[in-house]
Amino acid sequence: MKAEEIFDGALRTLREGGTLLYPTDTVWGLGCDATCPEAVARIYEIKRRSEAKSLVLLASDLDMVAKYIRQIPSIAIDLVEVNDAPMTLIYPGAIAGEAGTAGDRWHLAWNAVAEDGSVGIRIPLSEWCKQLIFKFGRPIVSTSANLSGESTPQRFSDIVPEIKQAVDFVVPPSVDKESTGKASQILKVGLTGEIEIIRK
């Protein structure tokens, strides 16, 4: 499959509400439209993970983040501008739909955010990911491609067949030029400039 066909296949899958297995700037991930509750529910099902645990999302840039967060803390802007390593920020005040409701492109899926209304979002350093998300036009889910409780696969070859068979579209490993195989750092940011380190 040619690079253009792979990209178009991944994009079409997102637009149709399907699930992806794809490389990020950190590890291989499971992804879907982060505004579609049904697709998000399918990710939890594939991972055998409780919906009580929130998911990390990927956005193409801060402009996209701003569409789904009530107010971006100024400290988050500073962090993103100087960042040169994979970094997930947990923002307060996600704009999400009501629990149990259908999705729309203007709200994050209710089952993609934490119970306190916060949400973890990363702007990936991978250009392939950035272009996919930019073209799609809204955030996508990015959770490690493993069954809940099992170790995170660092490379495509580490992913169990059950995961590969469960998704709607598998991006081939030939596309993976930028994954580090390591998880991102996670920082929780507040509106008054506070920062909490969740994972270094």
Three-state DSSP state, 33: strand
For the segment 166-185, what is each residue's pLDDT rounded down to a tens digit?
999 999 998 888 888 888 99
In angstroms, how far is CA 164 from the centroid of its own chain?
18
Q: How many CA atoms lie within 13 A of 194 on its CB side?
A: 7
For the segment 115-140, what is each residue's pLDDT rounded down to a tens digit?
999 999 999 999 999 999 999 999 99
Residue 61 burial (CB count, 10 A):
12
In angstroms, how far is CA 58 from the centroid of its own chain?
4
The CATH number of the domain covering residues in 3-199: 3.90.870.10
> What residue type is 1 in one-letter code?
M
- Annotated domain spans of the chain: 3-199
